[in-house]
Amino acid sequence: MLTRLAKILAGLLLIILGLTFLLYGILPDLASRLLTRLLIQRGFDQVVVQVDRPGLISLRIPRLSVQKDLGPEHLRLQLEDVQVEYDLRELLGGRVNTVVVPRASIMLQDEQRGPEPTGEAELSKQAALSLGALFQPIPRLPLDQLFLDQVTVHRDRASGPFRDMTISGTVQEREQVLTGALTFKGLEGSAYQLRWMGRHAGSMTAELHRIGRQGSPVVAFRTEEVPAESDLRLRGTFQTEFQELAPLLALMVPLGPQIEQISGTVMAEWSVTASRSAAVQSLWLDPETKVEGQVRLRLALPEWPGRAQTMALLLSGRVSGNGHRLDWTLNEDSLFGANVSLAAVKLPAWLMDPLAKGFSPLTIDVPSGTHGHLIPSTESPSWAMEGPVRIRYGNATRPIRAELIATSLAQSPVQELSGRGTVHVEGKLGPIAQDLIQVAEATWNVDGEVTVEATRAEVLVDRASVVKTSRVRMDQFRASNVSLAVAEPVRLLVDLPSQHWVMNRGLVRLRAPSFVMKETRVTLDRADLGIKRLEPVENGWNADLTLALSRLAPSMTTPTLPPSNWQAHAVTDQSMITVEVEGTTPENFLSVTGTGTHHWSEKQGSARLRVGPVRFEPPQALLSTLATPWPYPFDIVRGEVSSDITVSWKGDPRQAEERPTIQQGTVTVSLSGLDGRYHTYDIRGLSTNVVVEVQGMDVLSMPEPAKVTVASVQGPVEVTKVSCEVQVGKVEWTDPSTIAWVDLRRLRAGLFGGQVVSEGLRYDPAQPVHRLTLQLQNFEVQKLLNLEQQKGLEGTGLLDGTLPLVISGRAVMVEEGLVEARPPGGVIRYRPPPAAGQAVASTNPHMEMVLQALSDFHYNVLAMSVQYQEDGTLLLNTRLEGRNPGWQNGRPVHFNLNVQENIPALLKTLETVTKVQDALTERLDRQGGSGGEPEGGDKDAPEREERRGDR
């Protein structure tokens, strides 16, 4: 705009001088009219011209006023008392000596009338102008000197102190060398002086000084033509103090008042090689044109309110090329630094408070030099950069420190923005409190790679990136010293326009020495989260994840469960989620597998869980080895246990906040050939298959009876071949006292060589009394006599009977039980050792006769009435009839025997005797072993176990 204004002023001056002297001697009024007409033809309007009669050596123009529309701006020019001095001889050659402009005003008003017009003739003239023409010596001007005393300039679009300014100075031309000195003074601040000298565009020196300022000029510009045979070669330098130049820049370009706050220096050295015949208009695009240069900027930039402070730029590098391609290089010392605030950046709430407070340092530098190129284009330019550009944010006092190193960037018409780089983020933050999670303090150290292709970005988080926290709490979950590390690189894809992201690869490892879940402390070696796909979608997620838990163990007071390993695989989308679970204890002793599916929209799903089969095998695979210490009076040492659990649930899709509830389920428990112990009882061969139905959230029931079989129960009295059917009515699993009823049917058991049979009973907690009748069949007399633990006592025969049991609360009673010998009876022989027999006979004179009769007593009647009282007292009224063939000629003998015994005490006595016998047997076994095995050794332990099982 200013260049065009200068052309207009120069042309206007020539027209004034030429026509004025051409009309010399003509009346001033005629000269004024003619001059007005010519100015109007040149596009000026509102033309006012006054010309005095010319003298012999001077001419006075009292007033000249014109206006012109320049498109975006409107020009108003007014000259007053212009003095023209000349020599008549020079005047005839079209030249004057001096032009003095005492007063003038120039106004450029912002009219917003459209773009600046350019005529076709002017464009055609510029296109025809060659570069060589610009480097011809300056044509001789029609004047020797121009003096400007006071020219006031106002421009609406300008800013700063030079929006209104005053210009004064001189312009001289001597022997085709143009020199000048113009002074610029704004309404405020210092005045500036522009000095120049030159023959043409290739030989020019210009300096801009601030009046009163010592030292180097504000702007220094120099061009020098380098001799060449054909091409035109030009070199030059440029240097400026930007803060001093800013007011003048604000005059030409409306950059706002902040440009005056920029300080520093700009230096450039450049050279141009081009064809002399190249047109000026197309010079930049001419293939033979080559521009080379070095640039160095050192600038302090103004504050960006609320965003950045203390901004500084240090830039040095080289550039070469032309309008088709520019190659550039940034040197290692290039740097940008500032203190920035993230208050205006949209951040998550937990990051906003710590990051939005205060300012953090930001630097951009070039560690080892960077190069690239630019291909200018009016439609879509393309560019590329190779080499590291490093961006650093934060320092040791800030919660987040980040470093981004861009190794390549590019953009072209056929390929949108692309680039590659590395990222490092570290820091410490806390405490963090959100709706679902509270973190005391978190530290992180994350490294990764970033790749950008058009609108798609890929982030690859490197292995060993880690996030740590001292304490974390989430609902009923608490943990300390938690670390989250990347075990395999995590790949994140981001669509930049929509900011939609997808994570489709990675393995994240969680370590927490222990955590608390619902008041239960759990130890964990590690948890591995494998990511095959993780993507947020509307109202949900698309995910394919695996979770592996290593050595998971809940820590209870007693007992402590062994560590277990778990694997889970979950796949979810907007419609449903499917989960597969597998867990094992060491050596796969206990295993759990399961699957589950839930449909989001219908709010319904189902799951299946299988436990086992668990195979018990001594000496390690015992039930008591699952938890230590084992506090219970029972154990399983051999056999197999398995369980299948199926469950389904459903909710109301119309109620968003309502949780689904369990509709139904089935639990199947299978026991096969279990051997174990309960207190001192050895249980062998327990087998059953129990099916339990789940109704709703609380109620359990058995739809069918479960058949239970036991090979033997070994204690003071051995019971064999036990079988029965058991069925339980509805019960709340959280409260066993709510049981509705228990059915015990088809009971059979081997006892004393015979069996006990019963049709069973239904136990109803609402009834105070329950009755169960036991049928005794084929009991061997000898096995009953063995209970007495008397040496020399033996017998033969079989017993049958009935025992009516009455169950009241926890008490079990027998009412009017009867046991009788099966005809024809049997034999009872009691032949104690001599010492024992004498001791018994000495207590009562009749006992000797009894012992003689029982020495070989053949009975035909043996009947016992049985009463078992609530306190555990057994009343036996026994009637024994028969004879001894070798005593008193075999006369009939009748015995009536009443026995009262406390059965719990008897069982305890028998148990004690059994323990003593076992201890003695074990000791004798150890002493009888070969090889001198020391007492207490376990060489014969399996053999002793087998003998105990066979007794």
**Does the pTM exceed 0.85?**
no
Residue 120 pLDDT greater than 70, yes or no: no
Give the CB-side neighbour count of residue 875, counting CA atoms within 13 A.
11
pLDDT-based confidence at residue 73 (cuts at 50, 70, 90): confident
Burial letters 123-159, b for 16+ CB under 10 A, else e: eeeeeeebbeeebeeeeebbbbbbebeebebebebbb
Burial group, residue 14, by CB count within 10 angstroms (0-12, 13-18, 19+)? middle
Identify the pLDDT of residue 935: 35
**Chain centroid to CA 209:** 60
Identify the pLDDT of residue 797: 94
Identify the pLDDT of residue 352: 66
Mean pLDDT of the chain: 82
846 or 548, higher pLDDT: 548
Residue 898 pLDDT greater than 50, yes or no: yes
Residue 772 pLDDT greater than 80, yes or no: yes
The DSSP code sequence of 795-811 is E--EEEEEEEEEEETTE
Paired strand residues for 807:
770, 812
Q: What share of the chain is helix, strand, coil (3-state, %, to 5)?
A: 15, 55, 30
Whole-number percent of the chain with pLDDT over 70:
85
Distances (CA, A) of 795 to 500, 782, 857: 92, 5, 9
CA distance 465 to 442: 14
pLDDT-based confidence at residue 944 (cuts at 50, 70, 90): very low
Residue 435 pLDDT greater than 90, yes or no: no
Residues 6+ apart with CB under 8 A from 865: 816, 817, 818, 876, 877
Identify the pLDDT of residue 134: 66
Identify the pLDDT of residue 678: 87
Identify the pLDDT of residue 131: 65
Q: Could you report the per-residue pLDDT of 527-558, keeping only the tens digit for each? A: 999 999 999 888 788 999 999 998 888 876 56
Q: Could you report the per-residue pLDDT of 245-289, keeping only the tens digit for each? A: 776 676 666 666 677 778 888 999 989 888 877 777 777 888 888
Q: Is the separation of the CB atoms in 39 and 20 below 8 Å?
A: no
pLDDT-based confidence at residue 96 (cuts at 50, 70, 90): confident
pLDDT-based confidence at residue 907 (cuts at 50, 70, 90): low
Identify the pLDDT of residue 918: 54
Q: Could you report the per-residue pLDDT of 722-769, keeping only the tens digit for each? A: 999 999 988 887 787 888 899 999 999 999 999 999 999 998 888 889
Q: Is the separation of the CB atoms in 900 and 873 below 8 Å?
A: yes
**What is the mean predicted confidence (pLDDT) over 716-721?**
88
Residue 648 pLDDT greater than 80, yes or no: yes
888 or 127, higher pLDDT: 888
Residue 863 pLDDT greater than 70, yes or no: yes
**What is the mean predicted confidence (pLDDT) over 826-845?**
79
CA distance 223 to 900: 137
Identify the pLDDT of residue 924: 46
Longest dimension (CA), the chain: 197
Residue 606 pLDDT greater than 90, yes or no: yes
Q: For residue 651, give the 3-state DSSP assignment.
A: coil
Identify the pLDDT of residue 126: 52
Q: How many CB atoms lie within 10 A of CB 701?
A: 16
Identify the pLDDT of residue 513: 82
Residue 384 pLDDT greater than 50, yes or no: yes
CA distance 584 to 542: 29
Q: Is the separation of the CB atoms in 859 and 825 below 8 Å?
A: yes
Burial group, residue 898, by CB count within 10 angstroms (0-12, 13-18, 19+)? exposed
DSSP summary character for residue 231:
S
Identify the pLDDT of residue 304: 84
Residues 6+ apart with CB under 8 A from 758: 747, 772, 773, 774, 775
CA distance 404 to 390: 6
> Omega before 613 cis (within 30°)?
yes
**What is the mean predicted confidence (pLDDT) over 816-840?**
86
The lowest-confidence range among 417-421, 669-673, 699-703, 787-791 is 787-791
Highest averaged pLDDT of the listed ranges 42-46, 653-657, 867-871: 867-871
CA distance 949 to 939: 18
Residue 874 pLDDT greater than 90, yes or no: no
Residues 6+ apart with CB under 8 A from 827: 795, 796, 797, 856, 857, 858, 859
Identify the pLDDT of residue 13: 60
CA distance 161 to 182: 17
Smallest CA-to-CA distance from 414 within 380, 384, 386, 385 is with: 380
213 or 681, higher pLDDT: 681
Residue 919 pLDDT greater than 70, yes or no: no
pLDDT-based confidence at residue 947 (cuts at 50, 70, 90): very low
The lowest-confidence range among 411-425, 433-447, 737-751, 767-781 is 433-447
Residue 928 pLDDT greater than 50, yes or no: no
Residues 6+ apart with CB under 8 A from 794: 782, 785, 828, 829, 830
Q: Is the separation of the CB atoms in 229 and 129 below 8 Å?
A: no
Q: Is the separation of the CB atoms in 572 and 551 below 8 Å?
A: no
Identify the pLDDT of residue 929: 42
First-residue to last-residue Cα distance in the chain: 121
Residues 6+ apart with CB under 8 A from 469: 430, 439, 440, 441, 442, 443, 482, 483
Q: Could you report the per-residue pLDDT of 653-664, keeping only the tens digit for each? A: 777 777 788 888
Paired strand residues for 98:
85, 145
**What is the mean predicted confidence (pLDDT) over 620-639?**
80
Q: Could you report the per-residue pLDDT of 296-353, keeping only the tens digit for each? A: 999 998 888 888 888 999 999 999 998 889 999 999 888 999 998 877 777 666 666 6
Q: Could you report the per-residue pLDDT of 586-603, keeping only the tens digit for each? A: 777 788 999 999 998 888
Smallest CA-to-CA distance from 826 within 790, 800, 792 is with: 800
Residue 828 pLDDT greater than 50, yes or no: yes
Burial group, residue 721, by CB count within 10 angstroms (0-12, 13-18, 19+)? middle
Identify the pLDDT of residue 262: 83
Q: At what angle do helices 903-928 and 941-950 cross, to 10 degrees?
A: 140
Identify the pLDDT of residue 348: 66
**Chain centroid to CA 686:** 51
